[in-house]
Each structure stands twice: as C-alpha cells, then as structure tokens.
C-alpha cells in the first residue's frame, strides 16, 4: 500500500469538525464510545454546577453576613480610655456632644451617635430574657439601616419611640410580647443606698419590634430613648461610647488615625473588622479550601474525557490508518481527537453554568423544598446567624469556574489526541 504525501491544511478545517462529530455520535456497533461521552458530559456538568453553586453561596453568605453587621452595628465604636474621677475609675464620656461634633467633621464619616449601653434582664409574666439595651436618640435610631429603615421586617410605630422601648423580634418571641405590651427591665446596678446598691426595676411599653437579619442581634437587642437610658443606667450627663458610621466601611481602617486625632488622647476605637475579623478570615480560608476541593472534582470529571478518548482512539485505529494514508497530517489527526474531547468539555461546561445559575437563582424555593422533606429545621439561624441560605451570582465567579473547566478539559484532551496522531498507519492497518 502506497502512502501519499501529507498535505498541510488550515487548522480546524471543516472536514476535521465533520470527522470529530461523526466519531462523537457513532453507535456502539460502529465502534463508538457514546456511553463514555455521556458519562464525561454529565460529570463535567455536575462538577461545574457544584463549583458555581458553592461560589455563589459563599459569596452570598459573606455579603449577607457583612451587610447584617454594617446594617445594625457601628462601623467604628469610639470610647474613652480609663481615667480617675473623684477617686473612682471611669470610661464615661461626659463631653460626648463635643466628641460627636469632632467625629462628624472627619471626611468620610456619615454619622456619629452617642450611646448608653447596659445589660439587663427582661421580664414579661413568667418569661425572662437577657437583653442588651442601647440608649440612643430617635433621630439616630432612624439612621440605622437594619433597624430604623426596614418597615417590611418590623411592626409597631417607630415614631412613638420616645414613649417606650424598641426590641428585636427574637426578644419579642422569647418573652412572648408584642406591640402594646409592657416589658419589665431589671438591672442589678440600681440606686445606691446606705444598705448597698438595690436593683433598678422599670417597665416600658413595647412600641416597635424590628428584625435586623441577624439571629444573635434580634434575640438580645433593645433600644431605649437616650435620656431615659441615661437615667436608668445612672449615666447622668454622660455616654458610654460614640457609634460611628462611614461612607466606605470596607476602608474603615484608613479612618482610624483621623478619628483618634479628632477625639484627642483619651479616645480609643474599635472597628467592625476588629469585632468580626477572625470570622471573616475563617470564611476566606474556607472559601479557598472549598475552591481547591471542587477544582479537584472538576479535574476528576475531566479525566473521564481522557478515558473516553483513549477508548475512541483504540476503536478507531483502522480509521486513523486510513486517514493517514489518504494524506491527513499528524496535526490534523490530533486536532480531530482534540475536538472530540474539547467539544465534550465545552458542552458540559455550558450545561453546568446553566444548572448552577438556575440553582443559585431559585435557592429559596429549593431550600423550602428541603425544609419540607426534613420536616423543617434544615437551616438553623441560631447556629448560622442569618435566617436563610443566600446565594449571589457574580460574573467573576462564573468566569473562574468556566476557565477552570475549559482549561482542564483542553489540557487532558491533548495527551490521547497526541497518541492518536503518532499512531503508525502501517501498524494500524497490518491486520486489516
């Protein structure tokens, strides 16, 4: 048999695509490996979908967690260092108005609100709950995004704040109270008498119930009018701290020095990153580990392409010999089998992106179904902090998943394709 001289053709010519497509859809009796192709396709689809879903959920969880922190807590807390006054140590800020004005003058600060804070025991009938009480003015309460600006997740009349107390939905649930009920607050640090300090007991009407989106906040927090809190906690003419909100919370560290300069040498600060930084760093580490693990899953799925191509090359040895003898170059044969593997990876990746995106978009409905199957309790907010499993699709996350899947699919396809290209046509046709 005479072998013709190979003729060079443009890369990925039409006939190369036609041959690859013929091999991909070949029936079993024709020596095809359609079953392995389907297995590879399903593996890539599920691996890419799992990667996208994981990236979307971890992005949504982190953003929701940070949003609940920034939406109901101070971005920066300014407080006083310990000083001695009348023979006693204290951290009270007596000139809180001056401190607040100086802080507001710092560029990038949007709000500075004096606070009085204390822990009390809340009581209603036979129910009791530990409560963190924040004394704050009405105008400042309205500026807290997740407390004063969420009418859909709250009930009551916030404009009546001066007449009573605002409590979290978790506190209301634990005490069994609603708007209009009267809650008793008991503090061990009450009036000082000749016989010692007597507990202070006051009763307040619940005028507003809010939901901040964080289980731990809703379960423990309540707000009292600033003047009433000063009276209740024996802070006459003083505040415990200044709650500061800034325009760009992610760059809050850049405002540390200007804020300290504004309040003077007695001032100290505590940012939201200081309070939650360790948890956020743990999330970042978990994100990296999960990405590596799921990348290995994508690699395992891509290896199915190798298995299918090796079987295809073995079954198509006679065809390869004929193609080489009629003039196809090694490069053309390599491209034919590269197209077979790459096409499987591309289709699997596209289907995986669609499946992952649909899962992320309808995650609420999916979790509702899972809750139904489990009889409720599939997502416990007391453990995870937030009330629902969030998911947020980002283009960069999808691009990372697509790049990883296509890159691995193309790389692993090269090796069996090279084996097919280097096959000796004489050896391939010897026993035909």
Give the span between the Cα atoms of 62 and 69, in whole angstroms: 11
pLDDT in tens, 284-314: 888 888 888 888 888 888 888 777 777 776 7
Give the span between the Cα atoms of 419 and 417, in whole angstroms: 5
Q: What is the largest CA-CA distance in the chain?
A: 119
Task: pLDDT band for 417, please (50, 70, 90 cuts).
Answer: confident
pLDDT at residue 10 in the model: 65
Task: pLDDT band for 26, please (50, 70, 90 cuts).
Answer: low
pLDDT in tens, 48-107: 999 999 889 888 888 887 887 788 888 999 998 888 776 677 788 888 999 999 999 999
Give the span between the Cα atoms of 149 and 139, in whole angstroms: 12
Give the span between the Cα atoms of 261 and 204, in whole angstroms: 39
What is the overall mean pLDDT for the chain?
82
Q: Are 298 and 200 contained in the same domain? A: no
Q: Which one-letter DSSP state was computed for residue 267? A: E
| Whether the predicted model's global pTM rises above the 0.95 cut | no
pLDDT in tens, 145-154: 888 876 677 8
Give the span between the Cα atoms of 215 and 234, in whole angstroms: 30
Give the span between the Cα atoms of 96 and 83, in whole angstroms: 15
pLDDT in tens, 120-170: 999 998 889 999 999 999 999 998 888 887 667 788 889 899 999 999 989
**Residue range 343-369: average pLDDT?**
87
Locate all alpha helices (DSSP H) within 3-126, ordered by sequence.
14-24, 34-72, 96-104
Q: Which one-letter DSSP state was computed for residue 254? A: G
The 3-class secondary structure across 116-176, one letter per residue, is EEEEEEEEECCEEEEEEEEEECHHHHHCCHHHHCCHHHCEECHHHHHHCEEEEHHHHHHHC
Residue 54's domain spans which residues? 14-66+280-429
Considering 240, 265, 290, which residue would you say is the last residue of a domain?
265
Beta-bridge partners for 404: none
Locate all alpha helices (DSSP H) within 233-362, ordered by sequence.
256-263, 272-315, 317-325, 330-361
Q: Are 90 and 234 contained in the same domain? A: yes
Q: Are 225 and 340 contained in the same domain? A: no
User: In this structure, is residue 5 part of a structural domain?
Assistant: no
pLDDT at residue 243 in the model: 93
Please tell me which residue, 2 or 281, carries the higher pLDDT value: 281
Q: Are 261 and 318 contained in the same domain? A: no
pLDDT at residue 31 in the model: 44
Q: Are 321 and 410 contained in the same domain? A: yes
**Residue range 331-359: average pLDDT?**
85
How many structural domains compose the chain? 2
User: In this structure, is residue 365 part of a structural domain?
Assistant: yes
């Amino acid at each position: 048999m005479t072998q013709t001289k190979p003729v060079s053709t443009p890369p990925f010519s039409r006939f190369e695509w036609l041959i690859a497509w013929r091999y991909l859809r070949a029936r079993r009796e024709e020596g095809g490996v359609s079953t392995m192709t389907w297995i590879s396709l399903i593996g890539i689809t599920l691996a890419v979908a799992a990667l996208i879903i994981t990236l979307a959920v971890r992005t949504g969880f982190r953003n929701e967690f940070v949003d609940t922190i920034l939406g109901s807590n101070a971005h920066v807390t300014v407080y006083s260092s310990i000083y001695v006054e009348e023979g006693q140590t204290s951290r009270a800020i007596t000139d809180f108005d001056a401190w607040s004005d100086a802080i507001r003058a710092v560029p990038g600060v949007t709000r500075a609100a004096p606070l009085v804070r204390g822990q009390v025991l809340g009581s209603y009938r036979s129910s009791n709950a530990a409560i963190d009480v924040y004394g704050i003015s009405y105008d400042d309460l309205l500026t807290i995004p997740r407390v004063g600006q969420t009418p859909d997740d709250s009930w009551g009349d916030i404009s009546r704040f001066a007449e009573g107390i605002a409590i979290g939905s978790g506190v209301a649930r634990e005490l069994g109270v609603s708007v209009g009920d009267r809650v008793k607050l008991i503090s061990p640090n009450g009036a000082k008498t000749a016989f010692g300090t007597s507990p202070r007991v006051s009763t307040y009407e619940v005028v507003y119930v809010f939901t901040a989106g964080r289980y731990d906040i809703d379960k423990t927090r309540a707000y009292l009018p600033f003047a009433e809190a000063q009276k209740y906690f024996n802070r006459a003419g003083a505040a415990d701290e200044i709650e500061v909100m800034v325009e760009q919370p992610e760059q809050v560290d850049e405002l540390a020095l200007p804020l300290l300069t504004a309040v003077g040498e007695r001032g100290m600060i505590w940012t939201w990153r200081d309070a939650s930084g360790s948890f956020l760093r743990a999330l970042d580490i978990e994100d990296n580990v999960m990405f590596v693990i799921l990348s290995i899953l994508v690699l395992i799925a891509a290896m199915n392409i190798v298995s299918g191509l090796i079987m295809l090359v073995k079954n198509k040895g006679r065809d390869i010999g004929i193609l080489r003898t009629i003039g196809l170059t090694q490069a053309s044969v390599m491209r034919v089998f590269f197209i077979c593997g790459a096409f499987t990876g591309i289709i699997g990746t596209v289907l995986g992106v669609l499946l992952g995106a649909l899962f992320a978009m309808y995650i609420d409905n999916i979790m509702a179904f899972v809750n139904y199957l489990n009889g409720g309790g599939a997502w416990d907010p007391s453990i995870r902090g937030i009330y629902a499993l969030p998911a947020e699709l980002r283009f960069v996350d999808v691009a990372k998943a697509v790049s990883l899947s296509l890159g691995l699919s193309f790389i692993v396809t090269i090796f069996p394709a090279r084996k097919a290209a280097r096959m000796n046509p004489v050896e391939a046709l010897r026993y035909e």
